[in-house]
Amino acid sequence: MGSDGVNLGMVSEKGHLDASELDEGAVLEADVLIIGSGAGGGICAEALAERNIRVVVVEEGPFKKTADFTMREKEAFQDLYFECGGRRTKDKAIGIFQGRAVGGSTTVNWTASFRTPEQTLRYWSNEFGLSGFSAEDLAPWFDRVEKRLNISPWLPAPNENNAIIARGAAALDWSYGTVPRNVRGCADLGLCGQGCPIGAKQSMLVTTIPRAMELGATVISRARAARLLLRQGRVEGAVLEPLDSLGRPKRTIQLEVRAPLVIVAAGGIGSPALLLRSATPDPDRLIGSRTFLHPTVVVTGAMPQQVAGYRGAPQTVYSDHFLWRDGIEGRMGFKIEALAIQPSLFSGLMMRHGAEHQSFMQRINDTQGSIMLLRDGFNEESPGGRVGLDAFDYPELDYTVNDYLWEGVREAYLRASEMLFAAGANNIQLWHFDAPSLTSWTQAKQFIANLQLKPLSTGLFSAHVMGGCSMGADPRRSVVDSRGAHHHVKNLYVIDGSLFPTSLGTNPQLTIYAIAAKLANELAERHWPAPSSFQKRESAMNPISGASL
């Protein structure tokens, strides 16, 4: 079985405050306020709590326990995702999946845990003047978080949905590999996107958050950070807006957390939105800009054998054969991974209606799903999107899709189709409103070459929101420096995926873990000099959660 510090009684209930249950406002004090409990916030919370620093973690979503994960898609999307999984860009052209619960997206992601590609890190150094982020610099931090979260390549045989990618790639002599996963005692259920029902996924929910709470941290759930408290060039805390059990604001109640140091870790949309709501100094209008998505397209294949893509670990095989197909700054490359064929997810995203939709659903057992994650942000024609605020101060992402991206989409459609036919598909389906089922590679090549690609007709999705608070050496080009420190506000830090200057070209959670561990420990050394938390507790293994950071 997996680990669950909450269910096993490690954490006192007094360490958790559910803001939806409050009848009146309150003021809390802390040494550090962390806004967000996902990959960045969770790692920071544990690292700082281990130094006996008073930490308060704020999370907009609910605090769920392993027993709450019912294995029902309907409940998972309602309880664990922003906008019930229906978040989209401003023009509605790109669907965005982001976790909204304690643990953030780590609670609902599919566990793929890749180190940052060295090409990406070199680009950051050359283009943005970042030092301290080479593969060699980050290696010890990757080692630490991989040990902490039990990250290693998945050894059991892949399910058929993933095995088809391996067979197709092998037939075409493409490179492919095994996905590293952050699991302990995984039962291969395939329900990762709904919250792990046995606590095997080593998300922040069952590792760093309960450990931080055991060490004295307080977690406030169902509370939205409305704005930061800024005075005379420094941060002094934040005003929180309690939410009811349905996520609606309780506007008659206000919470305030006063802290001399604040870490914003609300994700690639939430972090820049909070800085914008707070009127954070931004002389060059950089906050919210350069937001990247790994825009993702889907191709499915009707196979002659049963696939049952809803069963088994969702992502265990990948191919980076086309990730750097034209160098770092050339045409947009892409990563190939599997799409779990969960019924509700599949039904809602397939871009088919009526009898055609029914026919697709009847063939779900024989359907393979492949996704292609496009690597945005490495070319002047790929500037990313911009996070802004709507009339109600809620975030919205304006992401322009241009010809440069469409060329990458067309190539991704072509290669995925080729791969599926090489693996034996009877026919393939592009997730595009105007695409019929294609019955041969020859037909697919001709059709894709002439297919009109445009927003809303072409299915585009993202589960990887990055950037919006870019880090860099030059304050005229970046929001924070290489320490995660805001260029213009003292003691304000951003430590999550929003500080990436580009997308990564791979699933981001492990990069966020490692960079957060590095920055949090360095931050603690500057503000609370002491032996490093890792050295201090290296021999004190947590019997449930593993080694501490």
pLDDT at residue 138 tops 60: yes
- Overall size of the chain counted in residues: 549
Residue 218 phi/psi, 5-degree rounding, is: -110, 135
Average pLDDT over residues 526-549: 46
pLDDT at 150: 99
pLDDT at 529: 85
- pLDDT over 90 percentage in the chain: 89
Q: Which helix (H) or strand (E) holds 119?
A: helix 118-128
Residue 167 phi/psi, 5-degree rounding, is: -65, -45
Cα–Cα separations (whole angstroms), residue 90 to 78, 224, 456: 21, 21, 12
pLDDT at 349: 86
pLDDT at residue 7 tops 60: no
pLDDT at 13: 59
Average pLDDT over residues 176-181: 99
pLDDT band per the 50, 70, 90 thresholds, residue 8:
very low
pLDDT at 530: 62
pLDDT digits 0-9 by tens, 470-513: 999 999 999 999 999 999 999 999 999 999 999 999 999 999 99
- Return d(Cα 485, Cα 483) in angstroms, integer: 5
Q: What does the buried/exposed string (b/e) look like for 308-322 if buried means 16 or more CB atoms within 10 Å of the residue's CB?
A: bbbbbbbbbbbbbbb
pLDDT band per the 50, 70, 90 thresholds, residue 548:
very low
pLDDT at residue 441 tops 80: yes
Could you tell me where the DSSP H helices lie in 492-532? Answer: 509-527
- Return d(Cα 278, Cα 259) in angstroms, integer: 16
pLDDT at residue 4 tops 80: no
Q: Which helix (H) or strand (E) holds 386?
A: strand 386-389
pLDDT at 116: 99
Are β-strands 180-182 and 151-153 bridged in parallel, bridged antiparallel, or unpaired? antiparallel
pLDDT digits 0-9 by tens, 323-368: 999 999 999 999 999 999 999 999 988 888 899 899 989 999 999 9
pLDDT at 532: 42
Residues in Cβ contact with 233 at an 8 Å cutoff, skipping those fewer than 6 apart: 281, 488, 489, 490
pLDDT band per the 50, 70, 90 thresholds, residue 549:
very low
Average pLDDT over residues 266-271: 98
pLDDT at residue 412 tops 50: yes
Average pLDDT over residues 423-436: 97
pLDDT at 543: 28
Q: What does the buried/exposed string (b/e) look like for 67-101 if buried means 16 or more CB atoms within 10 Å of the residue's CB?
A: ebbeeebeebbebbbbeebebbbbeebbbbbbbbb
pLDDT at residue 542 tops 80: no
pLDDT at residue 544 tops 80: no
pLDDT digits 0-9 by tens, 277-286: 999 999 999 9
The whole-chain average pLDDT of the chain stands at 94
- The residues of the chain that CATH labels 3.50.50.60 are 13-81+99-111+114-148+188-288+467-537
Inter-residue contact 205 to 220 (CB < 8 Å)? no
Task: From 82, 105, 56, 125, select the one nearest 510 (Cα to Cα).
Answer: 105
pLDDT at residue 131 tops 70: yes
According to CATH, the superfamily of the domain at 13-81+99-111+114-148+188-288+467-537 is FAD/NAD(P)-binding domain (3.50.50.60)
pLDDT at residue 444 tops 60: yes
pLDDT band per the 50, 70, 90 thresholds, residue 247:
confident
Residues in Cβ contact with 22 at an 8 Å cutoff, skipping those fewer than 6 apart: 242, 250, 253, 255
